[in-house]
Amino acid sequence: MGIRLLVVDDDPGFRETLRGLLTQWEDMVILGEADGGDEALRLADDLRPDVVLMDLAMPRMNGLEVTRLLKARWPAMAVIMITVHDEEAYRQTALAAGAEAFLQKKTLGMELWPTLFKIARRTQGQPT
């Protein structure tokens, strides 16, 4: 089961760190990376990833706005919101915007793989 990913974050250093984390798992295929909302929408349209790893706080168009637009276009495309914020209001807002999960950047090393695996199994119609 390969999981096709789009990584969206305005911080190139964080994208590099995330890429390093994701390439440790052979089931992960990074289709592309975007540094903002407009590029994320274009790449999602062109590449049709299974999962979008979406930064919450980005200039011009934040992750919530991009998630709403992605889910309106492709309801089955999974979005995992990633952020430095840990307030419950952010989590609730992200989930209301259509994100399947909300993860803090500081816990990605522990939580990303199980979350990706669970979402991929669900989107592929397998029991979680």
Contact 119, 51 (CB under 8 A): yes
- Tokens 């969206």 belong to 8
Mutual angle of helices 108-123 and 12-22, in 10-degree steps:
70
- Nearest residue to 100 via CA among 120, 127, 86: 120
Q: Can you give the CATH number for the domain in which 16 is found?
A: 3.40.50.2300
Confidence band, pLDDT 50/70/90 cuts, at residue 121: confident
Domain residue limits at 80: 3-123
Query: Is 13 part of a structural domain of the chain?
Result: yes
Query: Is 128 part of a structural domain of the chain?
Result: no
- Considering its fold, how many domains does the chain have in total? 1
pLDDT 10s digits, 77-86: 999 999 998 8
Alpha helices (H) in 23-107, listed in sequence order:
37-47, 63-73, 88-97
Per-residue pLDDT averaged across 1-22, rounded? 90
Alpha helices (H) in the chain, listed in sequence order:
12-22, 37-47, 63-73, 88-97, 108-123
